[in-house]
Structure 1
Amino acid sequence: MAKMANSMETFLNLDEIEDAATKIVSKKAWAYYYSACDDKISKRKNTEVFRSIQLRPKVFVDCKECDVNTKLLDNNVSIPIYVSPAAMARLGHPSGEAGIAEACRSFGALQIISNSASMTPEQIVAGAAPDQLFGWQLYVQNDRTKSERMLERINKLSAIKFIALTLDSPVTGKREDDERFGNVISSEAPYQTDKNDSGIILPAADPIFKGMDPNLTWTETLGWLAKHTDLPVVLKGIQTHEDAYIASLHTPQVKGIILSNHGGRSLDTAPPAVHTLLEIRKYCPEVFDKIEVWVDGGIKRGTDVVKALCLGARGVGIGRGALWGLAAGGVDGVKRTLQILTDETKTCMRLLGVKSIDELGTQHINTRQVEKEIYDGPSGLEACRANFRAKL
């Protein structure tokens, strides 16, 4: 793993990095990175739910070796931790999303580039290693020609291996911190617009997510997307077992799903990814055999990463963590964030008596406390199956 500036090594956890970044960034940047909708209940729950899962260590196991290499969409990555699409990185540091990419390159980590990045996709992948893995987040525009033109550009960038179609924000949640500081963001290429007094590019002066299409459907939207790219699709923002099951019926186009409530930024009291993982395990575990399941939201510790992997996730995403790391120390700050999580993940695995990610499973965790909170009503799976059969 790459070395970093000594000043960054003084940070021992992600909360310390966030605290340091908060003291540096502008009020607008803090509001955008920190904000979540309404009362921030989902944002807090994303982290708290991991604390409710207990670990079950095994002893007398040779744990000298610990391998955290894995595959995401059949692409090799060195760690199961990826960077979720996190917008407007240059609000925190001039190196922006390209700086995050540099840090990911050092760790062999996947980065999903935000549709609302503060740099062009071409700039972000320009310094990529030959085997570096990127995804592109897509918010479908009301004016589909704009999305089609962007897809044409993405199709030409060999470093970008898939499209992350984001579905959990058909409209924007009420983010009061953003509203107080006048933050706005457009899904229409904001990197082409205004600058602040320091010369850092800011979002366009449009209503939040102006131009986003709220009329997406399984059949129409996936059919439209297939006409404009051959890249595999990962559906971001799945929050129920029914939707996870429906996604699994759309292979081979859909290769994976990301269980996410948009970092608590869209619908407050929406479930954390852990709840959706447990729902899938209860109602339709076959989903794990058909498509890859990733998660994001609330990841603060390596133990959180391990618990998600034990529940069947293949990739574990951080969004705010990368932004706070960048704001605290540029590229070195993101490296330190990834280093902390990687080291904690390895330590947790060793203490569990596990040598590789493939060995992790539900036998290593106790989720009984969380299971009391997951959905226990009628499942809509039969209706999903009947509807799908009717369309064949």
Structure 2
Amino acid sequence: MPLSLEEVAQHNSIRSCWVIIKNRVYDVTEFLPEHPGGAKIILKYAGRDATTAYEPIHPPDALDKNLPPEKHLGELNIAGTAALQKERETRKKTKDEIRVEQAQADVAMKVMSHKAMAYYSSAADDETTHRENARAFSRFFFHPRILRPISKVDVSTTILGIKSSIPVFVSGAALAKLGHPLGEVNITKGAGRTGIIQMVSSNASLSPSQIAEGRLSPSQPLFFQLYKHGDNSIAQKRVREVEQLGYRAIFLTVDAPVSGNRERDIRAPYDLEEQEREGEPTDGQTAGEMPRQPDDVEKEIEGQQPNLYGTAGALLQNMDLDMTFKETIPWLRSVTKLPIALKVSRYIIPTVRLMLSAIQDAVLAAEAGVDAILLSNHGGDSLPPLEVLYKIRQQRPDLFNKLESMFTGFTSRASHVLKALCLGAKAVGMGRPFLYAQSAYGEAGVVQAVRILQREIILGMRLLGVTSVDQLVPELVERVDWQPLLARL
């Protein structure tokens, strides 16, 4: 039987918690302790419609995967559906929603919601390393060559044997629907139209199958960024799923077993609450309401913990904290061997990649037999990836012959790409630029971002006196640390 709003409203506590998602009712009581974002956010909508909060950060099939069938309680009745529709139409919009609507024709940072901005742009603690990732590029200078024929320039390359129109791929980044309703599919279609490769995050707003369905053709390549679950059986199921969907590689993320202290992201919900309180009576009370008492807070949260994770931290609550070179890499190898693909008459073995921020780990990765490494520090308090790439070039250049090295870390210009390639990177991953582009302009924004990069890479290569990616060699760049030089003056 269809359920009424009155029936759902009775289940509004930690002891019995029902929520409405897209006019369907779910019993999430037993799921509360397991929810990666904590129980508090669900209890905020207990007995009510949670569609607006749910849709931007969950794949549509998340409920099917995480709740057993008996917890899918049924449809809302006609009266309840009509009441919710009227409520949505007449609901007073928050100040942040009004700002977003007024800025729809403006650039991404003004178009995106506060939550999206906080998640996309935040980094650990004081965000020092986030800034240093960008400043690292300023310490490397080009040595251009002159009087060389440069009329014909080829900026294409291969990444793990797969053709790419430019030496750039979309690095894995979660929750694209925070910035645009279509989310990651904007990036998928834009990447397909421009001939680059998209890496899909385990924590994407859409499921791997929905993103795969968004490809322009079945042959369009996708990589998958694996945040390994602590339960091997769950992790194996995820790997098998993306294999069956035709993903071409697994990027195993090992530099973020837990989220860094991304304070801007953690503060976001409190900032939004403060925005809504501006101009209202102080102490959190509405007109005519009694002031809040000291024990009110304890009663409201029913023993729950405050938000210490933010959007980013909530996504990593089930990460495997005990991964090792000795056990994890062989395990992943054992579950990623695909069956014979008759079309090419050979085994296709998805390659395993690691995101690293220390040269010692690069050596261990080569010894473990991985196919490639992706240098990254996730914006955390460790050495900028460009400096790590430079150290590998200086101390262990032999590693470049043993595995493909890729790079990601606050790369926003073609000159950044070219510097990384000169130091030995096979390709450069970009995450935030494509999130911002699709947030502001959808698929068209992704296409335009690639076109800008392609034009700038061609220009930069001509100015360097090279005509193909393989001509970008270490001799074309030099590291100069200006700070010690200035200190001597």
TM-score, normalisation: structure 2: 0.64
Amino acid at match of 2:455: D
2:436 to 318, 324, 346: 324
Counterpart position of 2:366: 248
**How far has the Cα of 1:353 moved from its partner?**
0.7
Alpha-carbon separation, structure 2, partners of 1:206 and 1:30: 16
Q: What SS does the aligned partner of 1:100 have?
A: helix
Amino acid at match of 1:149: K
Q: What SS does the aligned partner of 1:293 have?
A: strand
Counterpart position of 1:349: 461
Counterpart position of 2:233: 145
Counterpart position of 1:218: 325
Alpha-carbon separation, structure 2, partners of 1:369 and 1:341: 27
Asked if the contact 1:70/1:78 (under 8 Å) is kept, the reply is: yes
Alpha-carbon separation, structure 1, partners of 2:131 and 2:312: 30
- Pairing 1:272–2:390 present: no
* C-alpha spacing 1:31/1:206, structure 2 compared with 1 (3 Å): closer
**How far has the Cα of 1:154 moved from its partner?**
1.0
1:153-232 alignment, distance < 5 Å = 153-158=241-246, 160-182=247-269, 207-230=314-337, 231-232=349-350
Alpha-carbon separation, structure 1, partners of 2:267 and 2:423: 38
**How far has the Cα of 1:140 moved from its partner?**
1.1
Q: What SS does the aligned partner of 1:366 have?
A: strand
Counterpart position of 1:315: 427
Asked if the contact 1:95/1:331 (under 8 Å) is kept, the reply is: no
Alpha-carbon separation, structure 2, partners of 1:208 and 1:93: 19
- Pairing 1:258–2:374 present: yes
**Gaps (5+ residues) in structure 1?**
1-18, 184-202, 374-392
Q: What SS does the aligned partner of 2:107 have?
A: helix
Asked if the contact 1:61/1:353 (under 8 Å) is kept, the reply is: yes
Query: What is the root-mean-square deviation of aligned Cα atoms in Å?
Result: 2.1
**How far has the Cα of 1:91 moved from its partner?**
0.7
Alpha-carbon separation, structure 2, partners of 1:315 and 1:109: 11
2:473 to 358, 361, 384: 361
Q: What SS does the aligned partner of 2:225 have?
A: strand
Alpha-carbon separation, structure 2, partners of 1:342 and 1:57: 19
Alpha-carbon separation, structure 1, partners of 2:236 and 2:262: 29
Asked if the contact 2:170/2:198 (under 8 Å) is kept, the reply is: yes
Asked if the contact 1:232/1:255 (under 8 Å) is kept, the reply is: no
**How far has the Cα of 1:358 moved from its partner?**
0.6
Alpha-carbon separation, structure 2, partners of 1:71 and 1:23: 36
Asked if the contact 1:79/1:107 (under 8 Å) is kept, the reply is: no
1:73 to 156, 160, 168: 160
Q: What SS does the aligned partner of 2:224 have?
A: strand
TM-score, normalisation: structure 1: 0.80
2:408 to 296, 300, 303: 296
Counterpart position of 1:189: none
Provide Cα deviations, 1:227-277, integer angstroms capped at 9, x if missing partner.
Answer: 2212433433211111111111222xx210000001x0xx32x11111111
Amino acid at match of 2:223: G
Asked if the contact 2:259/2:312 (under 8 Å) is kept, the reply is: no
* C-alpha spacing 1:332/1:372, structure 2 compared with 1 (3 Å): farther
Asked if the contact 1:57/1:352 (under 8 Å) is kept, the reply is: yes
Asked if the contact 1:234/1:256 (under 8 Å) is kept, the reply is: yes
Counterpart position of 1:125: 212
Counterpart position of 1:237: 355
**How far has the Cα of 1:363 moved from its partner?**
1.8
Alpha-carbon separation, structure 2, partners of 1:345 and 1:137: 26
Answer with 207-216 or 113-122: which moved more: 207-216
**How far has the Cα of 1:361 moved from its partner?**
0.6
**How far has the Cα of 1:210 moved from its partner?**
1.1
Q: What SS does the aligned partner of 1:257 have?
A: strand
Q: What SS does the aligned partner of 1:147 have?
A: helix
Asked if the contact 1:322/1:334 (under 8 Å) is kept, the reply is: yes
Work out the percentage of aligned pairs sharing the same amino acid: 38
Asked if the contact 2:359/2:391 (under 8 Å) is kept, the reply is: yes
Number of residue-to-residue matches in the alignment: 329
* C-alpha spacing 1:82/1:205, structure 2 compared with 1 (3 Å): closer
Alpha-carbon separation, structure 1, partners of 2:214 and 2:315: 31
| Bigger relative CO (Cα 8 Å, ≥ 6 apart) | 1
**How far has the Cα of 1:130 moved from its partner?**
4.3
**Gaps (5+ residues) in structure 2?**
1-105, 271-309, 338-348
Counterpart position of 2:399: 287
* C-alpha spacing 1:371/1:55, structure 2 compared with 1 (3 Å): farther
Provide Cα deviations, 1:339-370, integer angstroms capped at 9, x if missing partner.
Answer: 11121111000111100001111121121338
Alpha-carbon separation, structure 1, partners of 2:312 and 2:469: 45
Asked if the contact 1:80/1:314 (under 8 Å) is kept, the reply is: yes
Provide Cα deviations, 1:303-326, integer angstroms capped at 9, x if missing partner.
Answer: 111111000000101011110001
Q: What SS does the aligned partner of 1:152 have?
A: helix
Alpha-carbon separation, structure 2, partners of 1:41 and 1:345: 28
Amino acid at match of 1:146: I
Asked if the contact 1:240/1:279 (under 8 Å) is kept, the reply is: no
Pair member with larger Rg: 2
Q: What SS does the aligned partner of 2:117 have?
A: helix
Asked if the contact 2:158/2:164 (under 8 Å) is kept, the reply is: yes
Provide Cα deviations, 1:89-129, integer angstroms capped at 9, x if missing partner.
Answer: 01111221111011111121111100100001111121323
Alpha-carbon separation, structure 2, partners of 1:240 and 1:84: 19
Alpha-carbon separation, structure 1, partners of 2:407 and 2:466: 21
1:83-102 alignment, distance < 5 Å = 83-102=170-189
**How far has the Cα of 1:165 moved from its partner?**
0.1
Counterpart position of 1:378: none
